[in-house]
A and B are shown apart, each in its own frame.
Chain A
Amino acid sequence: GAGVSQSPSNKVTEKGKDVELRCDPISGHTALYWYRQRLGQGLEFLIYFQGNSAPDKSGLPSDRFSAERTGESVSTLTIQRTQQEDSAVYLCASSGTSGSQEQFFGPGTRLTVL
């Protein structure tokens, strides 16, 4: 497809379980970002990948959160031992090499931890 896609669109899990969220960026985009949006709030930066450089993990809230990206393709965000405060929409974005580095967002994965 032409846009950023994410799966699943919705995920309901029990507290303590691990979850894995997937992002397919726009083909050819070298940069990929993960953000979290809690209900009624703005987006919080989580992690950023740029090509083969070391990722910027400065936004990850705890060591339960991790992300991987293979080359310039798919990325997965993993949350281990989920907590209720992890409930949010997780948004992925990708950007190319234009001067403005415009980020194109996917539709998000809504995570609910019971």
Chain B
Amino acid sequence: GEDVEQSLFLSVREGDSSVINCTYTDSSSTYLYWYKQEPGAGLQLLTYIFSNMDMKQDQRLTVLLNKKDKHLSLRIADTQTGDSAIYFCAGRGSSNTGKLIFGQGTTLQVKP
């Protein structure tokens, strides 16, 4: 089955850029997603990218997709303390059910 891997922790200073990386195994994933989870809160969809795209930009967020290497990244420009959270990447499984396969999450710590 599909596997999604992420680094577990990232610490940056406020105002710097953050880059969170993700690798996946299922090349048939049609959509790849980034979710944000703040303490005690549910998951919030940040952005997604369709598999025929290489890049998607949405305000401070930039998603890069390297299909050859099965590598996905999320760049947050001008990181703020409010960006401190756990970030999950997820891929749509190769079945037709639409279930998502999640990475284990990257904890982003933003220091003032």
Contacts and interface: CB of A to CB of B under 8 A. Distances in A.
A107 B42 contact: yes
Q: How large is the interface on B (under 10, 10 to 19, 20 to 34, 35 or more residues)?
A: 20 to 34
A100 interface: yes
A27 to B, nearest CB: 18
B97 A43 contact: no
A102 B45 contact: yes
Contacts of A107: 41-42
Interface residues of A, number: 24
Contacts, number: 58
A45 B45 contact: no
Interface stretch (B11-19, B65-73, B77-85, B98-106): B98-106
Nearest to B6: A42
Contacts of B98: 31, 33, 48, 50, 95, 101, 103
Given A50-B97, A56-B97, A95-B98, A104 B41 contact: no
Nearest to B92: A101
Interface in A35-67: 35, 41-45, 48, 50, 56, 59
B104 A41 contact: yes
Contacts of A25: none
Given A43-B90, A100-B50, 6 more contacts: A33-B98, A41-B104, A41-B105, A56-B95, A104-B45, A106-B42
Interface of A: 31, 33, 35, 41-45, 48, 50, 56, 59, 91, 93, 95, 100-108
Interface of B: 4, 31, 33, 35, 41-45, 48, 50, 88, 90, 92-93, 95, 97-105
